[in-house]
Amino acid sequence: MKRWVMCRPVGLHRISWRATCSALTNVDAVADGLAWLVGDDEAVTLDRSTSYHGPDIVLIEANMKKKKAALLSLARLGEANLQRLEDELDQRVDEQHVLHFRLDMNRFIDGEMTLAQTASTGQIKGQAKIEVYPGQSAREQVRLCLQEAAELARTMA
């Protein structure tokens, strides 16, 4: 009797985006951009509060737990950014198989997807939880996920 092994596509458990906006930030533009990234207006939450020093701040978060939509969200980074993430895997993946990255908020508001060069203010934090099962190489699964997202990005361009 032959056994057929079904190959599962590489995927994400989830993807999340977080931004901290000051009173000077165009909060609506960031929230709309994050809604576009995850493909769902309802997935975006805003938490308005006051900072320790007094000015208003808004914490914006967008989460996507649907695997196909999460992969599409990752693909929206674009091929060049995905390649950079793949090149920098050792610095960007933690022991829980979460890929960490940041977008430059000012460029994001202008409609550009640009990975931030250094840690500073005005960034959108992204985290993608990669599926890794026993017996699989975590590094290889992350690489395959990024390659699958890059292929999807090519078809969207």
DSSP code at position 10: P
Using CA atoms, how far residue 30 sits from 96, 130, 141, in Å, is 28, 25, 30
Give the domain range for residue 57: 12-156
Q: Does any domain span residue 71? A: yes
Using CA atoms, how far residue 49 sits from 54, 57, 58, 59, in Å, is 9, 6, 6, 8
Residues in the chain: 157
Q: How far apart are CA 141 and CA 145, in angstroms?
A: 6
Of 1-5, 14-18, 47-51, 55-59, the one with minimum mean pLDDT is 1-5
Q: Does any domain span residue 3? A: no
Strand pairing partners for 56? 50
pLDDT digits (tens, 9 = 90+) for 3-26: 433 344 557 899 999 999 988 889
Q: Does any domain span residue 7? A: no
Report the predicted TM-score, pTM, of the whole model to 2 decimal places: 0.87
Structure tokens at 114: 């640009």
CATH (domain of 65) = 3.30.1440.10
Q: Does any domain span residue 2? A: no
Q: Does any domain span residue 144? A: yes
Structure tokens at 7: 């190959």
Q: Does any domain span residue 132? A: yes
Q: What are phi and psi of 107, to 5 degrees?
A: -70, -35
Do 126 and 33 form a contact (C-beta atoms < 8 A)? no
Into how many domains does the chain fold? 1
Q: Does any domain span residue 4? A: no
DSSP code at position 43: G
Q: What percent of the chain has pLDDT over 90?
A: 73
Q: Taking residues 77-93, report their average pLDDT.
A: 96
Q: Does any domain span residue 51? A: yes
Q: What percent of the chain has pLDDT over 70?
A: 91
- What is residue 24's predicted lDDT score, i.e. its pLDDT? 84
pLDDT at 1 over 50: no
Residue 157: which pLDDT band, with cuts at 50, 70 and 90? confident
| Mean pLDDT for all residues in the chain | 89
